[in-house]
Structure 1
Amino acid sequence: MQNILLPVFYMPPVSWFSVFLDAEKEIVFEQFESFPKQTYRNRANIYGANGKLSLIIPINHNGKRETKDIEISYREDWRNLHWKSIKTAYQSSPYFEYYEDKFRKIFDLKEKFLLDFNLKGLEVIQQILKTEKAHSLNEEYIRNPDEINFREKFSAKNPSEFEMDEYYQTFSDKFGFLKDLSILDLVCNKGPESLVYIKKIKQLY
């Protein structure tokens, strides 16, 4: 059994779940890294009417750097804005109505810390996927960890390195298939088949 060191993301991309849900791997979440900007730690990509849309959680710039200490800013009503964007994007998808109430729970959360928000969001998503994958949190930052290091494997800026099949997306007639969006995109379009799809994704290790 190998250990994987994973960053904790906001409604993570599909590829992240292919690593997280690997039955052969033990998952350790990174909480002591210096918080990197412009990553999936506080953003999720969905498929909007005009193509890829990034939903970004604003953070308080209070000088704290470790991921576990990063605080969410509520100066703007971003939770309501994100939820409206999601409803607009997916209300005509095959399974949105079926999962709507469960996804809505994520946007009822009001956690002080980003890490806590993301972890509780993950609990909701695991309920939707009907999975119960265990995980632990690391206890210190190690530059060269013993675990397989996935801290920098998921880029919000560059195309995904993971290989995955195309599936129907609500606006794919306009812009084609957009690969490796948030798990929300997969679930709304594939529904109960999402888990089977995730397990077929070609791994990077």
Structure 2
Amino acid sequence: MNLIVHPAYFPNIATFSVLAQHTVIWEAHDNFQKQTYRNRCYICTDQGKHMLNIPIKHVGGKEGRQKYRDVEIDHTYNWQKQHWRTLETAYRTSPFFEFYEDDLRPLFEKREKFLFDFNLKTIQTTFDCLGIPMPIERTKMFEMSTSNDMDARFLVEAKKPLSFTPAGYSQVFEERHGFIPDLSILDLLFNEGTNTLDYLKSQSLSFVDV
């Protein structure tokens, strides 16, 4: 069975475990909603859990809601440089940061106009790092409820608790903050490297398995 999933900014481990274990279709016709993983992800720095947020151009007034695919990134300030510096500071000492940095750095150097397109590029780059093909199918229209495919769009909701307990792995600041679960795929990639795909495939996904 196919799962319908929102493209997110370097998705968390729960979402990437779904991507590694199921055939997915990208939701391409929904409305943008605030406080979701559409424009944020979480990593771990020396201060603990830390949010990386992509600023967007807000549309109000008569235009009202925006389609997710039409939301533009706000490049008023150089958030890409800030995000990359934060990642460097947090993960430079991790086992695999240098292994993947040449693949990832270009994402923070070239400006992308639309958030939807940029998020898909972050996912594509991660799939390339894992050495597996990325799903390319997209929804053709928005459906409130799905019939032939399973709805996993809830995974993008940052404020919704998820029944997911990922296996532990070594993290850079684990001695200081303890193990922090379900961070961005970047945390797993930088710490586990070539073991990342096996890790993702081994996770229990009771929250979507039927």
Instruction: Give unpaired runs (5+ residues) of structure 2.
Output: none
Deviates more, 1:170-179 or 1:145-154: 145-154
CA displacement at 1:62 relative to structure 2: 2.3
Alignment partner, residue 163 of structure 2:
161
Question: Partners of 2:24 and 2:10 in 1: how far apart?
Answer: 17
Asked if 1:57 is matched to 2:54, the reply is yes
Correspondence list, 1:7-46, <5 A: 7-22=6-21, 25-46=22-43
Aligned to 1:176: 178
Change in CA separation of 1:155 and 1:179 when aligned onto 2, cut-off 3 Å: farther
Q: For 1:185, which of 183, 187, 192 is the aligned residue?
A: 187
Q: What's 2:73 paired with?
A: 72
Structure 2 distance, partners of 1:200, 1:8, is 22
Deviation of 1:107 after TM superposition, in Å, equals 0.9
Supply the distance in 2 between the matched residues of 1:18 and 1:71 (Cα, whole angstroms): 28
TM-score (norm 2): 0.92
Q: 1:157 offset after TM fit, Å? A: 3.0
Q: Describe the shift of the 1:167–1:160 C-alpha distance in structure 2 as closer, same or farther (beyond 3 A).
A: farther
Shift of 1:81: 0.3
Give, in angstroms, the shift of residue 187 of structure 1: 0.6
Normalising to structure 1: TM-score of the pair? 0.94
Tell me if 1:126 matches 2:123: no
Question: Does the aligned pair in 1 maintain the 2:124–2:134 contact within 8 Å?
Answer: no
Q: Deviations over 1:63-114 (max 9, x none)?
A: 4511111110000100000000000000011111111111112212311110
Give the superposition deviation at 1:32: 1.4
- Does the C-alpha gap of structure 1 residues 138 and 158 become closer, same or farther in structure 2, counting only changes over 3 Å? closer
Question: CA contact under 8 A between 1:21 and 1:133: conserved in structure 2?
Answer: no
> Which residue in the other structure is 2:143 paired with?
142
Displacement, 1:154? 4.4
RMSD (Å), alpha carbons: 1.3
User: Which runs of 5 or more residues in structure 1 are unaligned?
Assistant: none
- Residue 158 of structure 1: CA displacement? 4.9
Secondary structure of residue in 2 paired with 1:54: strand
Is residue 43–residue 55 contact of structure 1 (8 Å, CA) maintained in 2? yes
CA apart distance, 1:159: 4.8
